């Protein structure tokens, strides 16, 4: 059975009430009854019917007074009221509308006419109820974003205090969605208790998204300035910090960030942009005006670079440059690292530092990875050297990219056997099981695995064993200071000791001068002598210097450009 509308009949005449009840129940409506206006008003507040049929002439409180009381009450103001009246005077009918009635039906009424009115206003009532539900957050019962947009134009001088539970998503993942929702409701109850927040009586609280709450203030009197607003929010957070953060047996820690904004136009959007920046910078409580200019500037730069990235992909201006590694022991270049470059519309080389982060936050990044992988294999499929390409966590977590790479390896097995995939370590991998499966899949084609920038991000020796890597490339920040900083020296010594036992190769990049080079040479000389005794092991772990060179796709024409004195060591 579908939804049965609830109709309240307010009529002092028992015969009329019985007639109306039977007529409405025959139409499959639920009916509740009251004998006078006061009783009808109380029943309307308690049951919230979909429609009220209201007689006019009644004791205690007449129908017009009861109608006015229903319309003026916030909980019942949206309920349509049809007045049943025996009064034929035009002035009396006008008075019924002035008191809030939606329509009237004359007594004695025609049953078919009355039912037509009932059906019409029930449709209106149910649509209105759906709208009301759409403006209420089902998780917290607070007015939601739609309600906020409806209320905002009513404020002549609005101020918005936006508070975000930064780790709401993490709490839901850790404790489960059900407990996460209860934690959010617990925080809602706290905010309701603090609703006045020492401002004025014109404060309304909204639930604007998961973990996102807003106090909308009518600041027409100018009482709330920036300093006072910031102090109010800091006090609120301080009170919550001392508030017991425990729901039943679940103890939890909440991280809060807040933004205070003053603006007539787009105040919510501006505060949300400023809030994201504040969360990123871990700044706690900020005034929107202090940060929004920088946010807009960043947005402008992002849009500028997104346009350039899109055009570069469209016009084939995303290309690999190849960093050649010169093996001084063998006297020749033995390996290349494929590095991303973009060529702008004027033919200038754009290094990845200017656009890569923006690309990673856009839909274009998978296309860039595919272009680089395809171009690198195309370049080396008919050559003998080994080569490597970089992959990020974003690439590995993208099924479409993983499938593309596997298909590329299947079609180019000989090149695959000379390829190394360098996983950029500092970005981290959220799903280790996906990484492990991916590595197992690519290793079937002879692909080697390296961890790039090791020591800068999710360094975990246990993980290195689990994912069966072939090389780690130590982060340049450790390499540059190895000859002057005992801490860096100790970290590298530990990594090297572990790698030797796990049969993992070590590559030290950014060996920029002879002093650093000699440090490595002295440090590992004893190891070299031991390794030379075992030829098989020596093939993988020999010590050599490699001059870093850079060249474009045109290197088939021996167009190799030396970029300065910088060395890499495989140790």
Q: Could you read off the pLDDT of 41-97 as tens digits, one per residue?
A: 999 998 889 999 999 889 899 999 999 999 998 888 889 999 988 766 677 778 888
Whether residues 342 and 269 fall in one domain: no
Q: Give the tokens for residue 263.
A: 């603006």
Contact criterion met (CB below 8 Å) for 140 and 95: no
Whether residues 152 and 129 fall in one domain: no
Whether residues 60 and 151 fall in one domain: no
Lookup result for tokens 């609830």: 6
Whether residues 404 and 529 fall in one domain: yes
Per-residue confidence (pLDDT) for residue 323, from 0 to 100: 79
Whether residues 114 and 64 fall in one domain: yes
CA 364 from centre of chain: 18
End-to-end CA distance of the chain: 76
Whether residues 387 and 531 fall in one domain: yes
Per-residue confidence (pLDDT) for residue 465, from 0 to 100: 59
Distance CA 125, CA 49 (A): 9
CATH number at residue 213: 3.30.70.270
Whether residues 285 and 252 fall in one domain: yes
Per-residue confidence (pLDDT) for residue 564, from 0 to 100: 31
Count of structural domains within the chain: 3
Q: Could you read off the pLDDT of 444-496 as tens digits, one per residue?
A: 999 998 877 665 544 555 556 566 677 677 766 666 666 666 766 677 777 77
Helix (H) or strand (E) holding 74: none
From residue 156, alpha-carbon distances to 153, 229, 302 in Å are 7, 18, 34
From residue 558, alpha-carbon distances to 330, 551, 553, 554 in Å are 19, 9, 10, 7
Per-residue confidence (pLDDT) for residue 522, from 0 to 100: 55
Whether residues 58 and 167 fall in one domain: no
**Residue 304 within a domain:** no
Which residues touch 121 (CB under 8 Å, ≥6 apart)?
A: 51, 80, 82, 102, 103
Which residues touch 418 (CB under 8 Å, ≥6 apart)?
A: 380, 384, 385, 386, 387, 446
**Residue 537 within a domain:** yes
Q: Number of C-alpha atoms within 13 angstroms, CB side, residue 8?
A: 32
**Residue 207 within a domain:** yes
Which residues, in sequence order, are bridge partners of residue 520? none
The DSSP secondary-structure symbol of 194 reads T
Per-residue confidence (pLDDT) for residue 442, from 0 to 100: 93
Per-residue confidence (pLDDT) for residue 561, from 0 to 100: 31
**Residue 94 within a domain:** yes
**Residue 1 within a domain:** no
User: Residue 262's domain spans which residues?
Assistant: 145-290
**Residue 258 within a domain:** yes
Whether residues 157 and 116 fall in one domain: no
Distance CA 8, CA 6 (A): 7
**Burial class for 5, CB neighbours closer than 10 Å (0-12, 13-18, 19+):** buried
Q: Sort strands 419-424 and 448-454 into parallel, antiparallel or unpaired.
A: parallel
Whether residues 522 and 397 fall in one domain: yes
Q: Is the pTM of this model over 0.85?
A: no
Q: Give the tokens for residue 30.
A: 């639920």
**Residue 428 within a domain:** yes
Question: What residues in the chain have per-residue pLDDT under 50?
Answer: 196, 328, 457-458, 525-571
CATH number at residue 461: 3.20.20.450
Distance CA 20, CA 9 (A): 8
Whether residues 321 and 410 fall in one domain: yes
Boundary (domain end) residue, out of 84, 114, 134: 134
CATH number at residue 108: 3.40.50.2300
Per-residue confidence (pLDDT) for residue 84, from 0 to 100: 87
Distance CA 162, CA 205 (A): 10
Per-residue confidence (pLDDT) for residue 451, from 0 to 100: 76
**Residue 305 within a domain:** no
Whether residues 161 and 108 fall in one domain: no
Lookup result for tokens 């272009």: 371
Boundary (domain end) residue, out of 290, 305, 333: 290
Which residues, in sequence order, are bridge partners of residue 136? 143
Cis peptide bond upstream of 108, omega within 30: yes
């Amino acid at each position: 059975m579908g939804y049965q509308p609830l109709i309240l009949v307010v009529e002092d005449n028992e015969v009329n009430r019985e007639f109306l009840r039977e007529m409405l129940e025959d139409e499959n409506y639920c009916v509740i009854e009251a004998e006078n206006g006061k009783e009808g008003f109380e029943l309307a507040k308690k049951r919230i019917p979909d429609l009220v049929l209201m007689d006019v002439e009644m004791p205690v409180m007449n129908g017009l007074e009861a109608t006015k009381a229903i319309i003026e009450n916030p909980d019942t103001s949206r309920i349509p009221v049809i007045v049943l009246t025996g009064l034929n005077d035009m002035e009396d009918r006008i008075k019924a509308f002035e008191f809030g009635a939606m329509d009237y039906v004359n007594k004695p009424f025609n049953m078919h006419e009355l039912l037509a009115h009932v059906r019409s206003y029930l449709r209106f009532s149910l649509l209105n109820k759906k709208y009301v539900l759409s403006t209420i957050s089902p998780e917290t019962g607070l007015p939601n974003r739609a309600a906020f947009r409806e209320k905002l134009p009513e404020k002549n001088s609005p101020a918005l205090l936006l508070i975000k539970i930064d780790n709401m998503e993490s709490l839901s993942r850790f404790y489960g969605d059900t407990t996460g929702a209860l934690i959010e409701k617990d925080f809602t109850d706290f905010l309701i208790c603090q609703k006045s927040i020492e401002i004025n009586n014109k404060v309304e609280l909204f639930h604007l998204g998961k973990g996102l709450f807003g106090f909308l203030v009518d600041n027409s009197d100018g009482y709330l300035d920036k300093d006072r607003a910031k102090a109010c929010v800091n006090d609120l957070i301080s009170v919550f910090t001392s508030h017991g953060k425990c729901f039943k047996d679940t103890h939890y820690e909440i991280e809060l960030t807040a933004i205070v904004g003053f603006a007539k136009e787009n105040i919510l959007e501006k505060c949300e942009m400023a809030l994201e920046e504040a969360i990123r910078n871990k700044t706690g409580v900020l005034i929107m005006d202090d940060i929004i200019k920088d946010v807009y500037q960043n947005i402008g730069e992002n849009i500028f670079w997104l346009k350039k990235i899109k055009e570069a992909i469209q016009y084939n201006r995303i290309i690999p440059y190849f960093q050649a590694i010169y093996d001084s022991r063998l006297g020749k270049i033995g390996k290349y690292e494929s590095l991303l470059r973009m060529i702008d519309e004027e033919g200038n080389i754009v290094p990845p530092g200017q656009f890569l982060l923006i690309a990673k936050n856009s839909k274009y990044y998978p296309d860039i990875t595919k272009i680089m992988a395809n171009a690198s294999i195309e370049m080396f499929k008919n050559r003998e050297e080994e080569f490597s390409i970089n992959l990020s966590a974003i690439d590995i977590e993208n099924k479409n990219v993983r499938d593309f790479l596997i298909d590329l390896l299947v079609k180019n097995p000989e090149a695959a056997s000379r390829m190394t995939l360098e996983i950029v370590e500092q970005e981290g991998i959220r799903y280790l099981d996906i990484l492990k499966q991916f590595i197992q899949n690519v290793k079937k084609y002879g692909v080697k695995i390296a961890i790039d920038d090791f020591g800068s991000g999710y360094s975990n020796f246990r993980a290195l064993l689990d994912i069966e890597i072939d090389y780690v490339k130590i982060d340049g920040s450790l390499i540059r200071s190895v000859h002057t900083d005992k801490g860096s020296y100790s970290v590298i010594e530990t990594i090297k000791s572990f790698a030797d036992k796990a049969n993992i190769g070590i590559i030290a990049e950014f060996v920029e001068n002879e002093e650093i080079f000699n440090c490595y040479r002295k440090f590992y000389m004893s190891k070299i002598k031991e390794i030379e005794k075992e030829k098989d092991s020596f093939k993988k772990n020999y010590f050599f210097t490699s001059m870093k060179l850079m060249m474009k796709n045109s290197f088939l024409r021996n167009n190799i450009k030396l970029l300065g004195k910088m060395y890499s060591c495989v140790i």
